[in-house]
Amino acid sequence: MSKLKAVLFDLDGVLVDSHYLHYRSWDMLAKDLGLNFTQKQGDDFRGMAREVCLERMFTVFNDRPLPSKEECKELTDRKNRYYLDLLHNCDPDELRLPGAVKLLEDLNKAGIRSVVASGSKNAKDVIRCAKLEPYFYAVVDRMDIVKTKPAPDIFLKAQEVSGAAPDEVVGIEDAVLGIEALRAAGFKCVGVGEYVKDSDADLIRPSIAEVTVKDFQTLVEG
Catalytic residues: 10, 12
Contacts of residue 215, defined as CB under 8 A and 6 or more positions apart, other chains included, come to: 190, 203, 205
DSSP letters spanning 66-103: ---HHHHHHHHHHHHHHHHHHHTTS-HHHHBPTTHHHH
The sign of the torsion formed by the CA atoms of 38, 43, 44, 48 equals positive
Which H or E run contains 2?
A: none
Instruction: Name the pairing type of β-strands 188-192 and 169-173.
Output: parallel
Using CA atoms, how far apart are residues 82 and 28, in angstroms rounded to an integer?
8
Picking from 208, 196, 205, the residue whose alpha carbon sits closest to that of residue 17 is 208
What sign for the dihedral angle of Cα 27, 30, 34, 38? negative
Q: How far apart are CA 219 and CA 171, in angstroms?
A: 10
- Assess whether the previous peptide bond of 150 is cis (omega < 30° from 0): yes
**130 three-class SS:** coil
